[in-house]
A and B are shown apart, each in its own frame.
Chain A
Amino acid sequence: MAERRIIQATGMRPLVRPGRVTLGATILALLAFAAVFAPLLAPHNPIDQDLMVSFLPPFWSDGADPAYPLGTDSLGRDVLSRLLYGARIALTVAVIAAFLAGLLGTVLGLLAGYFGGWVDALISRIVDIWLSFPPVLLSIVLVAVIGSGLHSVIIAIVVIDWTRFCRVVRAEVMVQRNQDYVAAAVTIGLGRWRTIVSEILPNVAPLLIVLFSLEMGIAIIVEAILSFVGLSVPSDFPTWGGLIQEGRLYVNQSPWLMVFPMVCIILSVLGLNALGDGLRHRLDPVMRR
């Protein structure tokens, strides 16, 4: 046993709070619920205009109409319905873009990490080049070039953010490939690809779940940025970023129009970050990176 001394570490409170995963999962579940059941939950069609009821305030203010719980926008469209449908787009983009970015990044990261040598040099060099561009600018230019729309937004996120997965997976695989179990797999005659897929990948999987959760939050932000700049989906279509951009025009008349979609984005990202961080702590007490 180590010698006890006067100078010695005093007890430290753990930095991890248990509630994070629960909090994140709850917010994510709410988001998913809103997205899936938007047609049932929304009191109105999100694109129905009714100029007679434009700029209605939310329900707690004077002059509110209970038929429009969160009020209406400049064209008399129901804000709550637009937010709910916005959740659909946000979640769709988040899941698909994060998945594809994860797929591309993981495959390249596995290759670079496992094979090393020129494969690694090439992939790392590409990542370096990618990191030389400001991501926001690159995504805006990319969408401007390939045309706006949901698919372009997804492509832009994948093209820009695969490097996040690639770098982390590469570093992790480099650690894993030197472990005994990989050597064992190779000695018993498992092929390279079999080794990667059946031995290394499962060990990288927890990390991927964490990254996926964080990437979904980033995708929601990027989608909001692109709709904010007016490059996402047609403006009639309700996206959170688009709602912010519209709300900004009328911020003096009706600040709530801007506040609600901002709250939606912030809560979603907060939840996904909490989930990702919580999972990281739970899966890996030492906290890598």
Chain B
Amino acid sequence: MIGRQVALRLLLAFPTLFGVALIVFILLRVVPGDPIAMMAGVTATPEEIERLRGLYGLDRPLLEQFWAYLGQLVQGDFGVSITRRLPVTELIFERLPATIELSLFAMALAVGLGIALAVAATYWRGRAAERMTDGFSAFGLAVPDFLWGLIFILILGVLIPVLPISGRVDPSLSFSSATGLYLIESFFRGQFDVFVSTLSRIVLPALSLALPLAAIIARVLKSSLAEVMQQDYILLARVKGFGRFRIVMRDALRNALVPTVALTAVQFTFLVGGTVLVERIFSFPGLGNMAIEAVVNRDLPLIQGVVITFALIFIALNMLIDLTYGLLNPRLRHG
């Protein structure tokens, strides 16, 4: 059953992958008219431009270019970065772990915070605490992640400077990572100075990404909990003599989580997309930060590589989410 579902999703992903490749091709090579002029900048001589054109095969017919490009993609070859003079693939793999770590940490924060808020609002229903969490949800939703980042920089970096606001780890600490996942690796290797330094630098960007999602989770989970709290089995739990907190946490929460996961899973991709700007704001050396650098430097191969990498991550995430729905669904009917 599950195996067949996975196979079907993978099959369906192919046209999407092809579409993604096509869009990137059109976006970067067809629309601007002259990507080489864009890359070379205003100071380039016509000879230079001609040379670059030949180098990137842009003097050939469009269809031929597209086939060549597809062939490269299939081999995982994104070419060589113009500014960094290194294979794009290498650059991407160097930065990818940072973005993955940031995203996962932010997701964990969002889920934890969202659940805590919804539980608090349900437990203190009708009291000031409930209104506070509602207000927070509205605010958390209205303020996008990059503004949260700026707010944190302003408050915790400038006005009350308690946390570092740039980079990934204190530059004075030497840490050579095998996996690129600094937080996990430093913890398991027992280098706690590195761990603390990494943690203090990941908290604010992760929180910026997490708050809007936490607000959504809190909102959906709260209304889901409100519905569950009306159910007969909750009244039976009261009649069993259980306390209110236990009922919310143990008897109600699990039932409310299933529809919440179904409604909020899509939002995880938005969180990952948000890393682009948030990494930039916190000078966090991840994929998104590199993407903006690439755009600013007009580094065409690098832009292309990063965009396609993000698309691959998104497609994988969406597939994962779809599969989760499939797994949750039979239970949803009874939840």
A252 to B274, CA, bound (A): 26
Identify which of B40-48, B72-80, B230-238, B249-257 touches chain A: B230-238
- Check if A259 sits within 8 Å of B276, measured CB to CB: no
- B276 in contact with A266 (CB, 8 Å): no
Q: Contact partner of A142 among B27, B138, B141, B159, CB < 8 A?
A: B27
Q: Are B276 and A136 in contact (CB under 8 A)?
A: yes
On whether the beta carbons of A133 and B20 are closer than 8 Å, the reply is yes
Answer yes or no: A229 CB below 8 A from chain B CBs: yes
CB contacts under 8 Å to A, within B123-160, are: 126, 138-139, 141-144, 146-147, 150-151, 153-154, 158-159
A244 to B146, CA, bound (A): 11
Q: How far is the CA of A138 from the CA of B141 in the complex (A)?
A: 22
- Residue A144 at the chain B interface, CB threshold 8 Å: yes
Contacts A136-B277, A244-B150, A262-B150 given: A141-B307 contact, CB under 8 Å?
yes
What is the 8 Å Cβ interface bit string for chain A, positions 218-233, against chain B (1 contact, 0 not)? 0001001100111000
Residue of chain A at shortest CB distance from B277: A136
Q: Is the pair B158, A251 in contact by a Cβ cutoff of 8 Å?
A: yes
Residues of B within 8 A of A262 (CB): 147, 150-151
**Cβ contacts A to B, 13 pairs, < 8 Å:** A9-B230, A15-B223, A128-B16, A132-B16, A133-B311, A133-B314, A134-B272, A140-B291, A145-B27, A146-B32, A251-B153, A255-B159, A259-B154
Q: Give Cα A254–Cα B144 distance, bound, in whole angstroms.
A: 23
Verify if B301 is at the interface (C-beta below 8 Å from A).
no
Chain B residues, CB < 8 A from A244: 150
Query: What 0/1 readout, one digit per residue, does chain A (224-266) give for beta carbons within 8 Å of chain B?
Result: 1100111000000000000010001001100100110010011
Most buried by B among A6, A138, A273: A138
Judged by a CB distance under 8 angstroms, whether A217 is at the interface is yes
Contacts A140-B276, A144-B295, A270-B139 known; 17 new A-B pairs at CB < 8 A: A12-B230, A125-B15, A125-B16, A125-B19, A129-B20, A133-B307, A133-B314, A134-B274, A134-B276, A135-B270, A137-B306, A141-B27, A141-B295, A141-B307, A221-B147, A259-B154, A269-B144
Contacts of A132 in B (CB 8 A): 16, 19-20, 311, 314-315, 318
Given contacts A137-B291, A140-B276, contact A265 B147 (CB under 8 A): yes
Residues facing B in A113-164 (CB within 8 A) are 125-126, 128-129, 131-138, 140-142, 144-146
- In Å, the complex CA distance between A168 and B274 comes to 23
In the complex, A134→B287 CA distance in Å? 12
Task: Report B-chain residues with C-beta under 8 Å of the C-beta of A252.
Answer: 158
* A67 CB–B CB distance under 8 Å: no
Using Cβ atoms and an 8 Å threshold, which residues of chain A touch B19? 125-126, 128-129, 132
Instruction: Return the chain A residue nearest B144 by Cβ.
Output: A221
Nearest-CB residue, chain A, relative to B35: A145
Tell me, yes or no, whether B28 is within 8 Å of chain A by CB: yes
Q: B31 an interface residue at 8 Å Cβ cutoff?
A: yes
Contact present for A273 and B142 (CB under 8 Å): yes
B31, B126, B143: which has the most chain A beta carbons within 10 Å?
B143
A274 and B138 form a contact (CB under 8 A):
yes
Contact across chains for B147 and A138 when beta carbons are under 8 A apart: no
Contacts of B16 in A (CB 8 A): 125, 128-129, 132
Residues on the B chain within 8 Å of A7, using CB = 232, 235-236
Of chain A, the residue at the smallest CB distance from B238 is: A7
Instruction: Give the dominant DSSP class at A's interface.
Output: helix
Total count of chain A residues near the partner, CB < 8 A: 46
Q: Which residues of B contact A224 (CB under 8 A)?
A: 147
Question: Is there an interface contact between B318 and A228, defined as CB atoms closer than 8 Å?
Answer: no
Among all A-B residue pairs, the 3 with the closest Cβ atoms: A134-B273, A129-B19, A270-B142
Segment 141-191 of A: residues with Cβ below 8 Å from B: 141-142, 144-146
Q: Does A13 contact B (CB under 8 A)?
A: yes
Convert B300-311 into 0s and 1s, putting 1 for each residue whose CB lies closer than 8 angstroms to a CB of A.
000100110011
Contacts of B306 in A (CB 8 A): 137
A184 CB to nearest chain B CB (Å): 34
Inter-chain CA distance A126–B15, complex, in Å, is: 10
- A10, CB-defined interface residue at 8 Å: yes
CB-based nearest B residue for A245: B150
Q: Is the CB of B276 within 8 A of A251?
A: no
Q: Of A140, A230, A269, which contacts B142 at CB under 8 A?
A: A269
A251 contacts across to B, CB distance below 8 A: 153-154, 158
B259 at the interface (CB under 8 A from A): no
Q: Write out the residue numbers on chain B whose beta carbons fall within 8 Å of the beta carbon of A129.
A: 16, 19-20, 23
